Amino acid sequence: MSIDSLPDDLRRLGLASREIEVYSAVLDTGPSDLDDVAGLLGHSAEDVRVEVEHLVRQGLLAYSGRDGRELAPVEPNIALQQLAAARSAELQRSHVAALNAYRAYRRSVSQQPTGELLEVVTGASIIDRVWHIEESAESQVLRFDSPPYHTHAVPNPVEVANLERGVDYRVVYSRSAVQNSSYYAGNIRPCIAAGEQARVLPSVPVKLTVYDRRLALVSMSSVEAEVNDSLLLVRPSSLLSALTGLFEASWRAALPMHLDKAVPPALSPVNRRVLELLSTGVSDDTIAELLGISRRTLSRHLEQLTTRAGALTRFQLALHAAREGWI
């Protein structure tokens, strides 16, 4: 974790922007009283008192000094573990909320026109609907990506075109998607290169795409797809809100798939891709297959990376990459 990325890292753990400002100010200045911190931020003491008290309760700051009025940072390990656990619990709550919202919909569906909230698309018309909806995206697309694919895992020129015209894409891939060498080469890599923000989880909770927070496509799982080739279109409703919340919680929990600009430019393209794939958690055999190299060649590239990072183990390499903001 680098100092420059600290605000973003703390925001992912759940701290508010004003709390991050206060905490960073105390880290910069050392032990300071409330008035000093407020003055440094250009606010009154009363304006920052709530944030200070919250940081103290969380265990990130503590009062010290002879008069007990000075604020000082506290060793943050326990506090950070508690924040991370809270985010994990939030993910679980979002998962449960999505399930409950859908069950609530099913209970009330007999009282509402189904066409207003939910539409079922089946058979050959699925692919046409998917491409049409994708082309009409205006500002933002959120996606859980996992096989199988209605579009047969072909390259996605629509996404690349959307990215070029300013549509923001955030995609959480399942590990099984990354392990598919043809899909990784023909779809994932080109989309990341075009500007897609990509992260990875061991598995995703549902196959989902949300367009402009106004329409969601929910596909069947691998098992369900074998017996029921269908797609659900979910329009603005509590179910759509819950699905969007599920994505946001999963996004916060997922690991980045693409490298940060802080990666040393001297790294070769192959070494950059090795480091990128290491962060997804796939096996060495899969990395070698995705890169089209032998295991021996992969071992040589890993040795070059650990040497550059001054590391002896992969764990140390991961710590260095995280500390320096490479990923």
What does pLDDT average to in each consecutive run of 10 residues of the chain (327 residues)?
A: 71 83 83 80 81 84 78 82 82 84 66 65 82 93 87 77 95 88 87 90 90 90 52 90 94 76 66 74 77 81 77 71 67
**pTM score:** 0.54
* 155-158-163-165 Cα dihedral, nearest 10 degrees: 150
pLDDT at position 172:
94
Structure tokens of 29? 């200045």
pLDDT at position 116:
66
pLDDT at position 43:
81
Query: DSSP secondary-structure letter at 312?
Result: S
Rounded CA-CA distance 46/36 in Å is: 12
SS3 86: helix
SS3 track for 137-156 = CCCEEEEEECCCCCCCCCCC
CB atoms within 10 A of CB 224: 12
Residue 70: φ, ψ to 5°: -80, 140
Place of tokens 């924040």: 83
Contact at 8 Å (CB) between 243 and 234?
A: yes
Report CA-CA distances (Å) from 262 to 177, 191, 201, 272, 325.
27, 21, 23, 12, 6
